[in-house]
Amino acid sequence: MSDDRTTDPSIVHERRILLHGGAALAGLALAPAMTLPAFAQRPLPKVPYVTTPQDIVDRMLSMAKVGRDDVVYDLGCGDGRIVISAARRYGARGVGIDLDPERIREANANARSAGVQDRVRFRQADLFKTDFSPATVVMLYLLFEVNLQLMPQLWRQLRVGARVVSHDFHMGAQWPPEQIVRMRDKTLYAWTITEELKQELAQMRSAKP
Contacting positions for ligand SAM (CB under 6 A): 47, 49-52, 74, 76-78, 81-82, 97-100, 103, 126-128, 141, 167
The SS3 call for residue 97 is strand
CB of 131 to ligand SAM, least distance (A): 13
Q: Give every CB contact of residue 129 below 8 A, 6+ residues apart in sequence.
A: none
Nearest distance from C-beta of residue 205 to ligand SAM, angstroms = 23
Q: For helices 54-63 and 81-90, give the axis angle rounded to 10 degrees.
A: 60
- For ligand SAM, the closer CB: 24 or 77: 77
Among residues 108 and 194, whose Cβ is nearest to ligand SAM? 108
CB nearer ligand SAM, residue 141 or residue 155: 141
Helix runs in the chain, H state only: 9-19, 22-30, 54-63, 81-90, 101-114, 144-157, 195-207
Give Cα separations from 90 to 3, 66, 67, 84 (angstroms).
23, 7, 5, 10
Cβ neighbourhood burial of 198 (10 Å; 0-12, 13-18, 19+) = middle
Q: Which is nearer to ligand SAM, 32 or 181 (CB)?
A: 181
Contact status, residue 158 vs residue 175, Cβ threshold 8 Å: no
Closest by CA to 198, choosing from 152, 150, 131, 129, is 152
- Nearest to ligand SAM of 36, 99 (CB atom): 99
Cβ proximity to ligand SAM: between 39 and 49 the closer is 49
Closest CB 142 distance from ligand SAM, rounded Å:
6
Q: Residue 54 CB, nearest distance to ligand SAM (Å)? A: 10
Closest distance to ligand SAM from the beta carbon of 34 (Å): 27
For the bound state, the minimum distance from the C-beta of residue 59 to ligand SAM, rounded and expressed in Å, comes to: 12
Radius of gyration of the chain (CA): 17
Which residue number is nearest to ligand SAM in terms of Cβ?
A: 76
